[in-house]
Structure 1
Amino acid sequence: MRRRLFIAATASTSLWLSACASQSLEGYAQERPVLDLARYFNGVVDAHGIFQDRSGQIVRRFTVVMDCRWEGDQGVLDEAFTYSDGSTQRRVWRLTRHADGRYTGRADDVVGTAEGRTVGNAFRWQYTLALPVDGRVIEVQFDDWMYLIDERVMLNRATMRKFGVTLGEVTLSFSRRSP
């Protein structure tokens, strides 16, 4: 009986630990279509999103119109946010594409340099955002995962953390406008 309990406990622990493991970008290497950020984020891209707190409650809805352009390996993503409460925000990303599939970027409300990489149809983008909350600014870490579905649609799921504690998630659906 003890042996069965030990085996059951070991199996449960292994399943629990594997569920906690983070996904690997390399796991998307064979996925198609291959994501080329400079190609996808070129022209106007619309996005619709939600922010959910850590309990899963949707606390903010928003839309984004992105005016994107690239010159060589340098890109600008000019994002205009409109929130469900009528407030607006603008973020201008300045990106650099590196030969090995990596990207770096800066924006006025990003602390330091954002870093990311594409593999197959996926892009992982990590950065620290200076976020205004109740009259003060707090720094939160974002871990974005984007997945190209087809030539027009890309989905994005981002986890927002502070001191390693998950504060919430952002879910976005991007849609490229026809040229």
Structure 2
Amino acid sequence: MQRRLLLAAGITSAAALAGCAGPQVGQYASEKPLLDLRTYFNGTLDAYGVFTDRSGAVVKRFTVVMVCTWNGDDGVLDETFSYSDGTTGKRVWRMKHMGNGQFSGRADDVVGEARGEQKGNAFRWGYTLLLPVDGKTYEVQFDDWMYLMDSRVMLNKAEMSKFGVRLGEVTLSFVRRAP
């Protein structure tokens, strides 16, 4: 019994340390092109994405049209989703630039406040989303990374988890429409 407890404690400690060992947004500070969320997410963008389960299988494909506006440090990102199964969805982010590359955000299906930081070409965003599945709603955590590729394209990779267990991943590309 004691051996099992020690083994469980060891596995838990290793998992906790592995979580701390991941990339930090600061390590991208010198990467170019330089990302400014208020500039990139301003105007209309199209996004194309997939949700993969923990085995890597594509579960759902989707497209998004985003209409984004900023008034100083306050932004609205109005997202309209179209899924491969014919369903649609909507999320409106109300964002705030808090200075020094720090952002906060709220949306109706987000629990509390999202927090993010941009450095260099990267933005890391963490939040808890209310995810409807088969008539039930689950609170799942998102560790959301965005990387600016050029003035029009940004790649986004988000890991979804619950109780620290990886459920799947969302991968998408944003493309700014030409003015």
Give the TM-score taking structure 1 as reference length: 0.89
Please state whether the residue corresponding to 2:99 is helix, strand or coil: coil
CA–CA distance in 2 between the matches of 1:178 and 1:168?
A: 32
1:153 counterpart letter in structure 2: V
Q: Which residue of 2 aligns with 1:24?
A: 24
CA displacement at 1:18 relative to structure 2 = 7.7
CA–CA distance in 2 between the matches of 1:21 and 1:117?
A: 18
Q: CA 1:57 to 1:80, structure 2 compared with 1: closer, same or farther past 3 Å?
A: same
The structure with the largest alpha-carbon Rg is 1
Q: CA 1:18 to 1:45, structure 2 compared with 1: closer, same or farther past 3 Å?
A: same
CA–CA distance in 2 between the matches of 1:126 and 1:118?
A: 12
CA displacement at 1:98 relative to structure 2 = 1.1
Structure 2 gap ranges (5+): 1-16
CA–CA distance in 2 between the matches of 1:156 and 1:149?
A: 10
2:119 counterpart letter in structure 1: V
Report 1:116-131 matches (<5 A).
116-131=116-131
Structure 1 gap ranges (5+): 1-16
Q: CA 1:87 to 1:54, structure 2 compared with 1: closer, same or farther past 3 Å?
A: same
Q: Percent identity?
A: 65
Report 1:33-44 matches (<5 A).
33-44=33-44
Give the TM-score taking structure 2 as reference length: 0.89
Please state whether the residue corresponding to 2:32 is helix, strand or coil: coil
CA displacement at 1:176 relative to structure 2 = 0.2
Q: CA 1:138 to 1:34, structure 2 compared with 1: closer, same or farther past 3 Å?
A: same
CA–CA distance in 2 between the matches of 1:19 and 1:104?
A: 23
2:176 counterpart letter in structure 1: R
CA–CA distance in 2 between the matches of 1:86 and 1:79?
A: 16
Q: Which residue of 1 aligns with 2:88?
A: 88
CA–CA distance in 1 between the matches of 2:18 and 2:106?
A: 34
The count of aligned residue pairs is 163
CA displacement at 1:51 relative to structure 2 = 0.2
Please state whether the residue corresponding to 2:75 is helix, strand or coil: strand
After superposing on structure 2, the runs of 4+ consecutive aligned residues of structure 1 that deviate more than 3 Å are: 17-20
Deviations 1:112-133 (Å, cap 9, x if unpaired)?
Answer: 0000000000000000000001
Q: Which residue of 1 aligns with 2:144?
A: 144
CA–CA distance in 2 between the matches of 1:82 and 1:62?
A: 6
Q: Which residue of 1 aligns with 2:177?
A: 177
CA–CA distance in 2 between the matches of 1:122 and 1:161?
A: 21
2:21 counterpart letter in structure 1: A
Q: Which residue of 2 aligns with 1:14?
A: none
Deviations 1:41-61 (Å, cap 9, x if unpaired)?
Answer: 000010000000000000000
Q: CA 1:176 to 1:27, structure 2 compared with 1: closer, same or farther past 3 Å?
A: same
